[in-house]
């Protein structure tokens, strides 16, 4: 699904009183509470039937790294919850290419299917939103 979906879709959103929400995830998991808090806000937003898009850039791409095992650190592993997003009809997940590369990662390292976009494309995506919330 393209982010720029044309006038017809825009009219439908106006009728249903739906806004385009973009959640920008920029922090690594566990070191701070931002990633977990963002995830909870995203899940709650799904209850309001809004048009939700998630972007992962900078250290935010690390939230989606496969194979997280937190047992020894005594923290809760919340990475499986990203797999539940599909069931909440949150299916627009975008990851920044440059951020992945800088961290030695590829889309194969991630635990959910995502679309990889360049910095340029993510900038354009931000421009198309009604509301941008950054974590």
Partner 1 sequence: MTAAVAVKGKDLEVDEEGYLVKLSDWSEDVGKAMAAEDGLVLTPNHWEVINFLREYYDEFQIAPAIRVLTKAIGKKLGPEKGSTKYLYELFPYGPAKQACRYAGLPKPTGCI
Partner 2 sequence: MTILHTINKSPFQTTDLDSCLRHARKGSAILLIEDAVYAAMGNTGISERVGEALKNTNVYVLGPDLDARGLERERVVRGVEIVDYGGFVDLAVEHDHVQAWV
Residue 6's binding partner out of partner 2, partner 1, none, with CB under 5 to 8 Å set by partner kind: none
| Residue number with CB closer to partner 2 (31 or 123) | 31
Name the minimum Å distance from CB 78 to partner 1.
6
Residue 73's binding partner out of partner 1, partner 2, none, with CB under 5 to 8 Å set by partner kind: partner 2
H or E stretch covering 25: strand 20-25
Q: Is the dihedral of CA 4, 8, 14, 15 positive or negative?
A: negative
- Residue from 18, 28, 43, 112 that binds partner 1 (CB under 8 A)? 43
Binding of partner 1 by 47 (CB under 8 A): yes
What Cα–Cα distance (Å) separates residue 1 from each residue in 28, 95, 96, 116?
27, 15, 17, 13
Binding of partner 1 by 12 (CB under 8 A): no
Tokens 């635990």 locate to: 111
| Residue number with CB closer to partner 2 (46 or 68) | 68
Q: Looking at residue 60, what DSSP letter applies?
A: G
């Amino acid at each position: 699904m393209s982010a720029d979906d044309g006038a017809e879709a825009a009219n439908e959103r106006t009728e249903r009183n739906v806004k385009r929400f973009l959640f920008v995830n920029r922090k690594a998991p566990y070191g701070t509470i931002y990633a977990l808090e963002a995830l909870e806000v995203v899940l709650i937003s799904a209850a309001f039937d809004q048009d939700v898009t998630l972007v992962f850039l900078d250290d935010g791409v690390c939230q989606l790294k496969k194979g997280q095992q937190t047992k020894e650190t005594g923290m809760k592993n919340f990475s499986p919850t990203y797999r539940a997003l599909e069931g909440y009809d949150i299916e627009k997940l975008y990851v920044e290419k440059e951020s992945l590369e800088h961290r030695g990662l590829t889309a194969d390292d991630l635990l959910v299917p995502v679309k990889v976009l360049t910095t340029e494309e993510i900038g354009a995506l931000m421009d198309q939103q009604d509301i941008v919330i950054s974590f």
